[in-house]
């Protein structure tokens, strides 16, 4: 079975400064891998590579079978779901309208929107504007987005930071759904302990290099 992600001796330099160096990384279908490291260690740069938003400067890499340095990435991007540091919603739309917009773009039945709103506990607050909603509510809508579109590859960049236990359970439900569908999950965090509780394998990143820690 082909890996979902394969990086070999991959490096990224920005403005002439090396950010990632000699990265070796592979993610198999059904696998959940955590990457732990402090701020400035290269975590977010790596996630951007895995999301096909950033090209590598050296080495080779593929995501969902697409060369990360080619136009093939446009074909696989709809199958990649990402939750980053800050919730990415349209502020002037309600929470419900944000999900309907996503469903239309993804070609998903709008009938499923109500179901995922129930799952994330926001059915009663669905008419609230996104820019008037709390951080936790906006984060829950991002989880609802991925439950709605069911991407094959899920990337979580500090997605659980500042959330309560019930929100952590939603992230876990998203992880389990993705794995059950034969996809894979990469979770990035500064909290190695949390990753160890959630992921079957944890790697560390420091000065742009990946090392096995679990």
Q: Which of 209, 202, 81, 94 is nearest to 148 (CA)?
A: 81
CATH top class, domain 5-212: alpha beta
- The per-residue pLDDT for range 178-201, each reduced to its tens digit, is 999 999 999 998 888 888 988 989
3-class SS of residue 21: strand
Instruction: Sort residue 65 into left (φ over 0), alpha (ψ -120 to 50) or beta.
Output: left
Q: Which of 212, 214, 211 is nearest to 21 (CA)?
A: 211
- The per-residue pLDDT for range 96-150, each reduced to its tens digit, is 999 999 999 999 999 999 999 999 999 999 999 999 999 889 989 999 999 999 9
Where does residue 57 rank: exposed (0-12), middle (13-18), buried (19+ CB within 10 A)? middle
By DSSP bridging, strand 209-212 and strand 201-206 are antiparallel
Mean pLDDT of 69-87: 92
């Amino acid at each position: 079975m082909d890996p979902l992600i394969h990086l070999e001796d991959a490096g990224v330099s920005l403005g002439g400064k090396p950010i990632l160096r000699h990265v070796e990384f592979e993610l198999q279908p059904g696998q959940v891998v955590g990457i732990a490291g402090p701020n400035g260690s290269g975590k977010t740069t790596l996630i951007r590579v895995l999301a096909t938003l950033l090209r590598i400067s050296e080495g080779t890499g593929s995501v969902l079978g697409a060369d990360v340095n080619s136009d093939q990435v446009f074909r696989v991007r709809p199958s990649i779901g990402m939750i980053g540091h800050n919730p990415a919603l349209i502020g002037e739309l309600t929470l419900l309208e944000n999900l309907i917009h996503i469903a239309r773009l993804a070609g998903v039945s709008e009938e499923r929107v109500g179901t995922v709103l129930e799952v994330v506990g926001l059915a009663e607050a669905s008419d609230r504007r996104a820019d008037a909603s709390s951080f936790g509510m906006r984060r829950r809508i991002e989880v609802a987005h991925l439950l709605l579109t069911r991407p094959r590859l899920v990337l979580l960049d500090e997605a659980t930071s500042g959330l309560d236990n019930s929100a952590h359970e939603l992230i876990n439900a998203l992880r389990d759904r993705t794995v059950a569908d034969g996809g894979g999950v990469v979770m990035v965090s500064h909290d190695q302990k949390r990753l160890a509780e959630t992921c079957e394998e944890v790697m560390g990143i420091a000065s742009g290099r990946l090392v096995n820690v679990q």
